[in-house]
A and B are shown apart, each in its own frame.
Chain A
Amino acid sequence: MTSSALYENVRMSLRSIRANKVRAFLTALGVMIGTGAVIAMLALGAGAQKSVESSLESLGSNLLLLYSGQPKGGSLVRRSTTNIVPTITEADVEAIKALGPELVALTAPESSASGQAKFGNTSMTVTIVGTDIDYPSIRNIRPVAGDFFLTSDVDSRKAVVVIGAQLYDDLFGGTGDPVGQKLRLNGLSYRVAGMMERKGNTTTDSSVFIPISTYQRYISGAKEFALVNIQAGNSDQMREAQSAIESTLLRLHKIPNMDAADFYVANQLDLLDTLQGVAGTFTLLLGGIAAISLIVGGIGIMNIMLVSVTERTREIGVRMALGAKTNDIIAQFMTEAIILSVGGGLIGVAIGVGSSYAFSLWGGLASTVEPFSVALSFGFSLVIGLVFGGYPAYRASQLDPIEALRYE
């Protein structure tokens, strides 16, 4: 096809589309909705994946969580530790530390319970977390005011507390320096040593942190820990560290295998894999449904192009009589179908990108429009024009000129 013939095809197609504006719009609407839906759904999926990744990264790096309690098949999502009977002892933690810095860099036991916090006349229920000094390093969280408590605080069971960012808002009204203030936890007075940065994670932000020794003495009375936060030596040895910890604890707890264990180890990698798998499936599902609507849009194009070919049978006959060849007729109708699908696709891209932003702006949903998904759905709409426009165009080209000229 020469560029002049292409120009003529585009001109004639636009004229034919203009002559049937409503019909053309409704036909292209199918592709618009399909393309828009694919982009928006993939954006939601990508957003979910990103937010999973970032919330996992915010948990800490090379993180292993050693939980008390029975391993439950597959469930790696961090559970509440407030109602678990703690089974991990100080000796267990020492044994884990003894695995060496290659495998275990840092450990911080953790137990938690809900309790009453009171500042001035404001009181509320909070999660009281007893832990050790390395907790901030392992969980990748820093104090923004004052300091986290020190080894000396732990050693001497000091009544010091580090508050979460949300609690600063809720208890202190978000104003003034909290450091040095007195906060009552379950009736006992604690000195506020610091305030943690905001993580955007409700549990962490509305917790208070006290030395584990203080926790054992005043809150739980138990010597065991519900949970130990562990930082592996490096990211390549997460699984080695996990199995070393498991076999050490099986030996210490005199348990033959993990099925019967009273603890289990959650690995950040597994957690990431699982959540990413979920997000991926979610993306695939949404994208798949949206792609179906795009295909339905394509069928709409085919349908209307078949109608158009029938309506214009006589025109096709005239064109053939005037010297149009098979390819000229195919090109003409393909051009029209592609203009419909690509036009619909372009508007659909705008709709998809627009609604993705609307989702994150007003819907509170994380969504990320990736150039790849725009290219994919736009390319898909082009392919749909080619595929679903092809058959009607071929039908048109195969008409017998004599019959076509006689068609009323």
Chain B
Amino acid sequence: MRLATALRTTGGVWIAPLVLGWVWLVTAHEASNEPAYWAGNTVLVGHTLPFYAPACAAFAAWEAGRLRRAGVHRLGAVRGRYAIAFSVLWPVALLGVAAVVACLITVRLQTGVAHDWPHPGVLAMAGYLIVVHTAVGYGLGMMLPRILATPVILVVDYLCLVMPVTITSPMWLRELTGWLDAPYGDVTITVNPMALVVPMLMATGFLAAVLVSAQIAQWRRNRFVRIGAAAVASAVCLGVFTASAVAPVRNWTGDPPPQARTDAPVCADGSPRVCVPVEAAASLGPLTEASKEVVPRLVGAGLTPPKELAFVSEAAHIDKQTWRLFLYRDMRDVDLEASVAASALPVIPPCDTSTDVQEGNMGTLAAWLMVKGGLDEEAIRGQSSEKRAADPRLASVVRKVTKLSPEEQLSWYTRNVRLLQQCKPAPETMPASPPVEG
């Protein structure tokens, strides 16, 4: 139908304000405290998926109902089924695109100008899922009465998107929907590509089921034969694509494994060199000053001097002469010094947490580094972000260690780093248990 006719008669005219309003509301709330970093913030397009994808599906079901009611497929049309479908579904796709654009505009208004561009992979995933949700809604709308299809697909689709996130076993279930909940705002990581591919694989299963069922509906066979064949074919399509989607994520335990950024950081040359992502460039100057204070003290305590301090993700591969910084917004000078000191601690892998008994505490090591870097106990207690060093119970352990000779302190440090890295008990790092009364 004509463009003017389609826009005038489409149900999207009255549903759009509701959908776009919800998307704006959710995005504005989530993006309000995040830095201007598109590789992380584009994730919000996936985060708002439960608000526009089910709307597209329901809207498509409604449009299918209009065509069914008009008996369009009984008019001996020259136009093919897909052309007829497209003639009423393009406004649906437009609604989905409008929702994505609304999300991006809201992010831009909340976070300001970024140094990068919206993540194309996330946009591609969102676009593909809009198409699939629309196709599934249209397919259902062609089978059921309009008054039933629209609310059913709206509710079921919404639940299918949000329920998996509430399920803890199996954890990989939440990766199938495209409802991205990766930690955005962390400027050292970008979206894990598998988190985008897996929902698309899953969605392809649904799309294949709809298309195959549409073909089977054309068979000149008894209705029960057609329904049975469509059910079997759909189950096969869904089974194959679900298995393909689950395979790469079956060992994921929550958020997707972080994917380190690969673009070049901004650096201040010196000894050591200090490198941070471009979004944190404002902290480069104060960080360099802090490193000039702290690093010589740590070297004096016996640590090998680093060639570089880098604010990078734990997923990034760095050499042994690079210390990994952790930064956050609005850091004071003392916070920067604590961060530099704690960056000397190598990565301690997460060990088996199947028991409640803790056999080592890396916070003690971080606290010792901060003391050697020149921070006092009060400053250390304020460092809640730095590797658990702020635990007040650790102060007594650190005080005891600092009474040893410098060589003994260094030996204590390297010995316990090795034990924790090997997931072995490190009782020297544990605070003393309070005496048991009675």
A and B form one complex: no
A contact residues vs B (CB 8 Å cutoff): none
